[in-house]
Each structure stands twice: as C-alpha cells, then as structure tokens.
Amino acid sequence: MKFCPACEALRTTKIVERAEGYVVRGRWVSVPVRFEACVVCGEAVGSDAEDDAVLAAVYAKRREMEADDEMSTSRVADGAVRILVSKRCCQRG
C-alpha cells in the first residue's frame, strides 16, 4: 500500500504500462512507461526518481530522433549531389 495524493489515503496500487507523450522542442515524443497507480482513482503513485527516469527516457528518445533526422538529411544531400553529378556527366556526352 502506498499513499495516494488524490485520495489522501493509503491505497492498494497496481502496475500500469502505457505510452506517454510529451512535446520536446516542438516535436512529439512518445515513450513507454511503467508505474504504480491507485486502484481506486487511477492516480499515479510514484516517486520523483521515477518521474526523472521517464523524462530522461523522453530526452534520450528526442536526441535519437535528432540524430536520425541528421542522418536522413545527409543521405538526401549526398544522393542529391550524386544525381547532380551524374546528370552533368550525361549532358556533356
């Protein structure tokens, strides 16, 4: 049993798993979370450390998304340069 801040009483809890979404730097980031919730009202009953872990996962996912965006941009730029070079070669011939 843990203290539920919404019920203001000690309550039995259950483990809940779901995806939570956050907007970080204008982009939607969704991460899977696992937490304890009050069986009476459904309020999350956790600690600051658990909340910090979720936020760390959100920012890690956002950094991963930025890295993927940079890779895609460089691939597109590299492909565009290759196409441009091949068109120039063909036009001269």
> What is the chain's mean pLDDT, rounded?
80
Q: What is the pLDDT of residue 65?
A: 85
Pairing, β 2-4 against β 9-11: antiparallel
Place of tokens 């760390």: 56
The set of residues, in sequence order, having a beta carbon less than 8 Å from that of 18 and lying 6+ positions away, is 32, 33
- pLDDT of residue 58 exceeding 80, the answer is yes
- Helices in 1-93 by DSSP H: which ranges? 48-92
**Integer Cα distance of 66 and 36 in angstroms:** 31
Q: Which structure tokens are listed for 82?
A: 């290759």
CB 51 within 8 A of CB 59: no
**Integer Cα distance of 81 and 74 in angstroms:** 10
The rounded radius of gyration (Å) of the Cα atoms in the chain is 24
- pLDDT of residue 80 exceeding 50, the answer is yes
| pTM, entire model | 0.61
Domains by residue range for the chain, with CATH: 2-92 (3.10.20.860)
Q: What is the pLDDT of residue 37?
A: 95
